[in-house]
Amino acid sequence: TKVSSSHMNTSFTEVKQMKIQANAKAFRTIALALYKNVHAAIIREGSQNSFDSHLKKKQTKPFEISLPTAFNPIYKIQDFGIAMEESFIEDDERGYLAIFASSKDNTNTQNGGYGIGKCVWLTLTDSYILTNIKNNLKSIYNIFLNNEGIPCLAKISSEKTTEHSGVTIEFSVNQSDIPHFFNNLNVLKWFPNPPIVKNGDSIIEIYPVEKSQISGKDWFF
């Protein structure tokens, strides 16, 4: 029998909230539900984060993507934007490690918001390397699936640097996955400032979709 909320007893002495258990099943279910085409999602999600980071810093230099090749099966995306605070990366409550927690929830100037894009790479690989440079500090992390299939983060190193601020993500892929990255580059055409895409020693030119939008003071369609 369905009970109307207006007739529910609200004088409970104890109320407990249902929780999602952090395990491999939960992560796999969420990730696979959101990303049907993982190769396109990897390109799109990483590019969106880089694009938003450049937008916040007003960085005009394009971010860069290096496609995996037979001789170097590494996918790499590098931006030169605002980067992240170390405290955010290592925060497992509201930071980089927190799924469904996003810094983009309260803004219309950036895309995203699920807070799971940072884990999309783990749908294809067991680990990836994150390099974060901010405030002349270069920190390198390994994000990986543990023996139970749960995403974890381990800090590899942290040192002073004069390198440009930004974030780099890189991971190795199977030979069979290499063509799928090349075949899904069309997702980049929707970015008004597409990245520089490197395929070995050559550069792949990305032509953005011609801008056509209706806009107001704080919005555009």
Average pLDDT, consecutive stretches of 10 residues, N- to C-terminus, the chain (221 residues): 54 70 67 79 94 94 97 98 94 78 48 62 91 97 88 94 97 96 94 94 87 68 70
* 0.75 exceeded by pTM: yes
Q: Which residues on adjacent β-strands are paired with residue 76?
A: 66, 170
3-state secondary structure at position 44: helix
Phi, psi dihedral angles at 162 (to 5 degrees): -110, 5
Cα 22 to Cα 36, 94, 97, 116, 144, distances in angstroms: 22, 15, 12, 13, 15
d(C-alpha 131, C-alpha 137), whole Å = 10
The runs of H, that is alpha helices, within 58-138 are 86-89
Pick from 118, 148, 115: nearest CA to 130: 118
